[in-house]
Amino acid sequence: MKFKNKVAIITGSSRGIWKATALELAKNWANVVVSSSKLESCQKVVKEIESFWWIALAIQCDVSKSSDVQNLINETISKFWKIDILVNNAWVGNTKAFAEMTEEDRDFIMNINLKWVFLCTNQAVKHMLKQKSWKIISIASILWKTGFMQASAYCASKAAVVNMTKALAIELAPHNINVNAIAPWFIKTDMTKESLENNEVSKMLLNHTPAWRFGEAEEIAKAIAFLASDDANYIHWETLAVDGWRLTN
Ligand SMILES: NC(=O)c1ccc[n+]([C@@H]2O[C@H](COP(=O)([O-])OP(=O)(O)OC[C@H]3O[C@@H](n4cnc5c(N)ncnc54)[C@H](OP(=O)(O)O)[C@@H]3O)[C@@H](O)[C@H]2O)c1
């Protein structure tokens, strides 16, 4: 009952880590808004949540479009009257040698991975400032700090998310608003399926993972649930690594 009477928006939550996060928050009594670019996929998640008698709402939202984001916030307010928790996710990336990267590649990745955090947070803050307290958690990646070959734009976009998190955290702390980020290493989802199913790549990645396994979506969901809870009321500005000790390896 950690999130009783709380309203949580989770962007890009039709599958993977973010679907697991929606389930984790709903299980602890949050009213959850499940959103992604595909309404049908969100409705399936909502049905799953409702089958446990938890409360959820599906809203289509492509986070790279400000009109969709505005609609996401408006529909949430009109259904639940407030927003307590915003979990910012959605991503694009590619694996390309730097010399082969085009301006379009760079713009596409930076546009979605950074702009969506800005758009969603900017729209939500206008409502949240009227409340007593609330939480924003954005998704970075441990690659924001370590870098990774053939992923220059992705790594740059995640470093930008981390620094935006820090700047926002300082600005919003006086309003009792906690802004933090999560930085996972390799987690088993659709995003990483191809790499993890390739024995050679997977072995190379495990050699950089002292815990000697890849993470589960539910393990990130639990870390997000912690940052979204009152247990984290005095945590501002943090980028929490959930990485099987990758960062220090
Ligand atoms: N998995 C990892 O190892 C790992 C590690 C570090 C960081 N991350 C971060 O975690 C996120 C990816 O999550 P995941 O691994 O769970 O991947 P995933 O299974 O591929 O899920 C991605 C989610 O994002 C949604 N999405 C994509 N583009 C969108 C858009 N324009 N608007 C709204 N929703 C959109 C997708 O839904 P629709 O297709 O229905 O729109 C889907 O629900 C990224 O931010 C990534 O940087 C993942």
CA dist list (Å): 238 to 56, 181, 192:
28, 6, 25
Query: What separation in Å is there between the alpha carbon of 156 and the centre of ligand 1?
Result: 17
Distance (Å, whole) CA 43 – CA 8: 16
Span 84-114, pLDDT tens digits = 999 998 778 888 899 999 999 998 898 888 8
Count of C-beta atoms within a 10 Å radius of residue 105: 16
**CB burial of residue 186 (10 Å; 0-12, 13-18, 19+):** buried
Q: What global pTM score does this model have? A: 0.95
Closest CA to 161 of 124, 129, 186, 136: 136
Give pLDDT, residue 95: 84
Angle between helices 39-50 and 16-27 (to 10 degrees): 30
Atom from ligand 1 closest to the CA of residue 14: 43
154 assigned to active site = yes
DSSP letter for each residue of 140-162 = --THHHH--TT-HHHHHHHHHHH
Does 249 score more than 70 pLDDT?
no
CB 64 near ligand 1, within 6 Å: yes
CB 236 near ligand 1, within 6 Å: no
Closest CA to 90 of 173, 147, 29, 34: 34
When pLDDT is cut at 50, 70 and 90, the band that residue 246 belongs to is: confident
* Most distant CA atoms of the chain, gap in Å: 52
What domains are defined for the chain? 7-186+215-242 (3.40.50.720)
Residue 26's identity, in one-letter code, is A
In the predicted model, what is the mean pLDDT of the chain? 93
Show Cβ contacts of residue 105 under 8 Å, excluding neighbours closer than 6 positions: 94, 96, 153
Query: What separation in Å is there between the alpha carbon of 220 and the centre of ligand 1?
Result: 13
Span 25-69, pLDDT tens digits = 999 999 999 999 999 999 999 999 999 989 999 999 998 889 999
